[in-house]
Amino acid sequence: MNHKLTEAQLFLLNISFVTGSSILMAPGLTAAYARNDAWLSMLFALGAGLLLNVIFLICLKQFHYASIFSVMEQAAGRYAGTAINIVIIFYSLHLAAYVVRNLSNFMTTSISPEASSFTFQAAIILISLYSVYYGPNNLARVNQFYTPIVMVLLFVSFILVINQFDFSNLKPVLYRGIKPVWSGAYTTIGFPFLEMLLLFSLTGYMSKKKNIPAAYLFSLFTGGIILVLIVLFSIGIQGYDLVQRQTYSTFELMRDIDIIDLLERVEVLIGIAWIFGIFVKITICFLCAMLGFQSISRHSTYRPFLLPAGVFVFVLSNGIHENIISFSDFVSTYWTIWWFALYLLITLTMIVGILFKRHTKTLN
Structure confidence at residue 130 (pLDDT): 96
* Mean pLDDT for all residues in the chain: 89
Quote the CA–CA distance of 171 and 185 in Å, as a whole number: 19
Top-confidence residue, 195 or 244: 195
Quote the CA–CA distance of 20 and 117 in Å, as a whole number: 20
362 occurs within a structural domain: no
Q: Domain range spanning residue 231?
A: 7-355
Alpha helices in the chain (DSSP H): 7-20, 26-34, 38-61, 68-76, 78-106, 117-133, 136-159, 179-188, 212-238, 240-243, 249-254, 267-297, 306-319, 324-355
pLDDT tens per residue across span 2-52:
678 999 999 999 999 998 878 888 998 999 999 999 999 999 999 999 999
203 occurs within a structural domain: yes
CATH number at residue 124: 1.20.1740.10
Quote the CA–CA distance of 194 and 25 in Å, as a whole number: 16
236 occurs within a structural domain: yes
Integer CA distances (angstroms), 251 to 156, 235, 273, in order: 14, 13, 11
pLDDT tens per residue across span 140-151:
999 999 898 888
pLDDT tens per residue across span 312-358:
999 999 988 877 888 888 888 999 999 999 999 999 999 999 999 88
Quote the CA–CA distance of 48 and 51 in Å, as a whole number: 5
103 occurs within a structural domain: yes
pLDDT tens per residue across span 176-221:
899 999 999 999 999 999 999 999 999 888 878 888 999 999 999 9
Structure confidence at residue 263 (pLDDT): 54
Find residue 263's DSSP bridge partners.
Answer: 259
Asked whether the predicted pLDDT for residue 260 surpasses 60, the reply is no
168 occurs within a structural domain: yes
Task: Please give the tally of structural domains in the chain.
Answer: 1
pLDDT tens per residue across span 114-153:
888 899 999 999 999 999 999 999 999 999 998 988 888 8
364 occurs within a structural domain: no
Closest CA to 3 of 207, 286, 182: 207
190 occurs within a structural domain: yes
The DSSP secondary structure of 59-110, one letter per residue, reads: HHHTTTT--HHHHHHHHH-HHHHHHHHHHHHHHHHHHHHHHHHHHHHHIIII
Asked whether the predicted pLDDT for residue 264 surpasses 90, the reply is no
Structure confidence at residue 361 (pLDDT): 64
Quote the CA–CA distance of 245 and 236 in Å, as a whole number: 15
pLDDT tens per residue across span 276-297:
889 999 999 999 999 999 999 9
Helix (H, G, I), strand (E, B) or coil at 177: coil
303 occurs within a structural domain: yes
